[in-house]
Amino acid sequence: MASIYLVRHGQAGFNKLDYDQLSDLGHQQAEYVGKSLDARSIEAGLVIHGAMKRHRETMQGAQKKWHSYGTVIEQPGFNEFDSDDVIAAAHPQFSSKTLEKIGFSKTGVVQKITLGAYLATQKNPQKAFQILFASAIERWSGGQYDEEYIESWTQFTKRCRDALMATIEQAAGKDVVVFTSGGPITAIAQYCLGLDNEHAFKLNWSLVNGGITQLLYNQQGKVSLASCNEQEHLIRAGKTSLTYR
């Protein structure tokens, strides 16, 4: 059997207007990923990245330290879900539609500013965001309000599975490295392990930036989870290199 390595992107721009970019630490984490891939002597016949900037930047950082790879392909199927939409549906005070009604222009930037202003008033902004986000995820994955979302949880997980199966077909039995986000890794782990939504997201909260998850697959489409959220390469770099958001 061959392997597919799912790499979660490095730390992105939490609490910034443009989350979809790596922080300085995120760029370092990407290079640690490359060192890890090189140390394992991974020769990837195929490299895939999602269509998000943080996916490409993580791949590019890893490629500074790792050079044993073949064709590089962009696959939007490995994109993260729209967290702004998921939060706004559960917490209308942060919805661009709500903000438009009270005089703001309809823009995601205003939504981010409003959420950021709220978090700035909290004693622990990251913890406050985690609580808010967890309740939004629970609502989204529950399936009772699917019509309120741009992409329902069911649609999202199917998209990720479809991207995985397309990758297996394209890889033709070769090893693959995929640069993606925590959501797709969660959806794929859920598929491999048969987890319910609650336990899948308990796994999601533990995924570190720059963590590596290994799948084993054959060309008949059988996939199994060999390891999840490997992080030794980050731990060796020091405690500050281990981040979750």
Out of 127, 148, 169, pick the residue that ends a domain. Answer: 148
Distance CA 229, CA 226 (A): 11
Q: Let me know whether 76 and 162 are in one domain.
A: yes
At residue 108 the predicted structure's pLDDT band, cuts being 50, 70 and 90, is: low
Asked if 127 and 170 sit in the same domain, the reply is no
How many domains, in total, are found in the chain? Answer: 2
Range of the domain at 94: 83-148
Same domain, residue pair 68 and 130:
no
pLDDT digits (tens, 9 = 90+) for 24-79: 999 999 999 999 999 999 999 999 999 999 999 999 999 999 999 999 999 999 99
Sign of the CA dihedral running 83, 80, 120, 106: negative
Q: What are the φ/ψ torsions at residue 82 (nearest 5 degrees)?
A: -80, 95
**Mean of pLDDT values over 217-234:** 95
The span from the CA of 29 to the CA of 234, in Å, is: 7
Do residue 48 and residue 168 come from a single domain? yes
Element (H, E) at 34: helix 24-39
Percent of the chain with pLDDT over 90: 79
The band of 187, judged by pLDDT with boundaries at 50, 70 and 90, is very high
Locate the DSSP E strands across 147-238.
176-180, 212-217, 223-230
Whether residues 124 and 161 share a domain: the answer is no
pTM of the model: 0.91
| 20-29, 74-83, 109-118: least confident range | 109-118
Domain boundary among 115, 148, 181: 148
Q: Are residues 121 and 178 located together in one domain of the fold?
A: no
Same domain, residue pair 121 and 134: yes
Whether 232 and 156 map to the same domain: the answer is yes
Same domain, 120 and 135: yes
169 and 67: one domain?
Answer: yes
Q: What is the mean pLDDT of the chain?
A: 91
Length of the chain: 245
